[in-house]
Amino acid sequence: MTTRKRAETETLEARYRRYRSILKDLTIMSDVFMRNVLKQKACTEYILRVILERNDLIVVDQVLQKDYKNLQGRSVILDCVVRDSVGRRMNVEFQQEKEGTEPKRARYHSGLMDMNALNPGQEFYELPESYVIFITRDDALGYGLPIYHVERKIEEVGKSFGDETHIVYVSSNIREDTELGRLMHDLHCKNAADMYSKILADRVRELKETQEGEDVMCRELEQIYSEGMEDGEKRGELKKAKTSALSMAADGMNVDKIAYYLNVSAQMVQKWIDESMSVAH
């Protein structure tokens, strides 16, 4: 092995040691960890059953990081897009930043799902029932409730419009002694042993406490690191880095560790955190 190759290998090994340390602090509310937890459909199914109070809900298929292209306007990558056994379509978003929870974003997600739901020649009545669900770090709508159900209605008669479009906001910082509150608790747990749900705990344990799971997560973190190294100066990548930094900070990770992991300066990370706190207040 050449000296250069040995140095590269040692650098990779050092990064993997750091990734294993970072992994201990990640929760399901962290983007990269959430994606891997939800790769097991049973976890997505459990989360949806609790939020929608439908114990019979069955996830038929799902796509993580679904890229919805809009040739006439803004495209969007959705965290998780689900189809259930009766044809309902659902978009589940895990959101750390308050600026990403505005009502018009939920409206846009709903519209994009609708635009991609019908094939040429299909009738409008065939449009499936849809849900956009935002699981937010804070109380996005500000009324102090653990969950909000947003529906269109006919104002003059006070009845539902009946378009089968539903928007749901869930405040993950409200953790009452209910099934929903216990789910929100689990989404913020770093350790499987502290979780209520066996389904989520088993998956978290698999990713954090087995060699195979650790390897999967280390490869994921290495990919993010590599992309940051190649494109760190690009505006889009910096925005992604900011989102990840705030997510990690919310999970209690210190500024230096975040900066080292994302390949940005500690000053930049602190600036993002300060800006986020000023917006929140």
Could you report the per-residue pLDDT of 68-107, keeping only the tens digit for each? 776 667 778 889 999 999 999 999 999 887 777 899 999 9
In tens, the pLDDT along 198-244 reads 999 999 999 999 999 999 999 888 887 776 554 444 456 677 788 88
| Residue whose C-alpha is closest to residue 203's, from 12, 45, 90 | 45
Long-range CB pairs of 203-210 (<8 Å, 24+ gap) are 203/37, 203/40, 203/42, 203/43, 204/28, 204/37, 207/23, 207/33, 207/36, 207/37, 208/23, 208/24
Give the residue, 2 or 14, on which the prediction is more confident. Answer: 14
Give the C-alpha separation, 137 to 200, whole Å: 18
pTM of structure: 0.78
In tens, the pLDDT along 125-141 reads 999 999 999 999 999 99
Give the C-alpha separation, 251 to 257, whole Å: 12
Band (pLDDT 50/70/90 cuts) for residue 175 is very high
Long-range CB pairs of 100-109 (<8 Å, 24+ gap) are 101/134, 101/136, 101/140, 101/169, 103/150, 103/167, 106/132, 106/134, 106/150, 106/167, 106/169, 107/167, 108/74, 108/76, 109/76, 109/78
For residue 229 the two structure tokens come to 């190294």
Q: What is the mean pLDDT of the chain?
A: 87
